[in-house]
Amino acid sequence: MNEIIITTATVTGISAIFAFLLTLADKTIGNYGEVKLTINNDKEYIVNGGSSLLSTLIEEKIFIPSACGGKGTCGYCKVKVIDGGGPVLPTETPFLTEDELKDNIRLSCQCKVKENIKIQIPEELFNVKEYIATVEEIEDMTSVIKRLRIRLPEGEEIKFKPGQFIQFKAPIYDGNDEEVYRAYSIASSPSDKGYIELFIGYVPGGKCTTYVHKHLKVGDTVQINGPYGDFYFHDDNDREVILVAAGTGIAPILSILKHMKEYNINRKARFYFGAKTPDDLFLLDYFKELEETLFDFKFIPTLSRVSEEHNWTGEKGRVNNTIERHLESPENKEAYLCGNPPMIDSMVKALVNKGLPEELIYFDKFD
């Protein structure tokens, strides 16, 4: 018995010493003091060293796109580090091309601010704003997709292009012990500057989607920032518009269609929407109305898991197969795609095989 007590006391003592050393290391070795952050050669900030570049920028209210909450799994938070970033980490290299490595591109969530550092980011990121907004509507679109309508603070506006996205902050809640940001495309029209609409699908175990589907209520305030993204509608030409989405990828396509209707953009448009069963379809009445009011528009849903009991008479199979059946001449066309990586990859391949130039295929991939 005495041996057990002595062993337990020894282990406890060693653990306590180890914990103390870690705390001491964090306060000394990890304490880099104040350093200078220079952005685009003309903006200087004095910041506390030791945090990631992404976190440091957020502290200064400069927001870089990040879909994974700074975990190093999405590869979105790229910045050019001119000086002071230290060596590229193994956690970064899977997301960086050879050209990006040569050009000193880094993942800001993995790059630590330990010394004076100089970086370069797109100037438009300085126009990104943070909003404390109010949830005005929550609507179930399917069993796993909710529509949120969010009102911005009185007197504030968000200016975005149809197709762009915002970042939504999920707070700490029961079952989640950290604040996380997630990216969601804006579904509302850019002319509706005092509100935004989002479509958020439930992902089991997802920290943000669980918050939205299980905890968020009408009247709650939420923290968002944006806009972001180089996926947006190009309205400076007369090309036919091919729109493709699946699930919540419908959001940026809706924003594009609303923009086309409001500004009376008379371009032929076809929207191919991929789903599994009829239960996964929504906004059917709205798309029927668009077919009657929008210039030469057709909504073409495609179902991949239908049986005889569904009595489905529309398109069947994967959406890329529908494209292959329907798309004729590739001349004077451009495409906008939003969905998961396998869907986007198959669609790009199908469109290129049909003769559509790859530079006229715009897409937004999300996991």
CATH of residue 301's domain is 3.40.50.80
289 and 355 belong to one structural domain: yes
257 and 155 belong to one structural domain: no
Q: How far, in Å, are 71, 129, 205, 272 from residue 318 at the CA level? A: 32, 38, 27, 10
Mark 238-251 as b/e (b = at least 16 C-beta within 10 Å): eebbbbbbbbbbbb
**Could you say which of 228, 256, 283 is where a domain stops?**
228
Is 152 within 8 Å of 245 (Cβ atoms)?
no
Mean pLDDT, the chain, whole residue set: 90
Is 303 within 8 Å of 209 (Cβ atoms)?
no
Q: Which residue has tokens 């669609």?
A: 347
pLDDT at 235: 92
Pairwise pLDDT comparison (95 vs 6), residue with the higher score? 95
Angle in degrees, CA 133, 193, 202, rounded to 5: 50
Average pLDDT for residues 7-13, to the nearest whole number?
Answer: 48
Is 80 exceeded by the pLDDT of residue 279?
Answer: yes
CA distance 134 to 326: 43
253 and 356 belong to one structural domain: yes
Element (H, E) at 78: strand 78-83
113 and 40 belong to one structural domain: yes
> How do beta strands 117-120 and 361-365 pair?
unpaired
Report pLDDT digits (tens) over 16-42: 454 444 444 444 455 679 999 999 999
Q: What range does the domain containing 65 cover?
A: 33-124
**Could you say which of 124, 140, 159 is where a domain stops?**
124
Domain CATH number, residue 98: 3.10.20.30
Count of CB atoms within 10 A of residue 138's CB? Answer: 18
Is residue 2 a part of any domain in this protein? no
Cβ contacts of residue 103 below 8 Å, gap of 6+? 80
100 and 76 belong to one structural domain: yes
In the 8-state DSSP scheme, what is residue 267? -
The DSSP string of 29-46 is TT---EEEEEETTTEEEE
190 and 260 belong to one structural domain: no
Residue 14's pLDDT band, with cuts at 50, 70 and 90, is: low
**Number of compact structural domains in the chain:** 3
* Phi-psi label, residue 86: left if phi above 0, alpha if psi -120 to 50, beta otherwise: left
CA distance 360 to 322: 19
Report pLDDT digits (tens) over 313-356: 999 999 989 988 988 888 999 999 999 999 999 999 999 999 99
217 and 254 belong to one structural domain: no
107 and 137 belong to one structural domain: no
Is residue 16 a part of any domain in this protein? no
Is residue 199 a part of any domain in this protein? yes
Report pLDDT digits (tens) over 67-116: 676 788 888 899 999 999 999 999 999 999 999 999 999 999 999 999 99
Choose from 6-20, 55-69, 287-301, 321-335 the range with maximum mean pLDDT. Answer: 287-301
Q: Structure pTM?
A: 0.84
133 and 100 belong to one structural domain: no
214 and 309 belong to one structural domain: no
185 and 245 belong to one structural domain: no
Is 68 within 8 Å of 74 (Cβ atoms)?
yes
CA distance 174 to 105: 37
**Could you say which of 65, 98, 124 is where a domain stops?**
124
Domain CATH number, residue 205: 2.40.30.10
94 and 162 belong to one structural domain: no
Report pLDDT digits (tens) over 231-254: 999 999 999 999 999 999 999 999
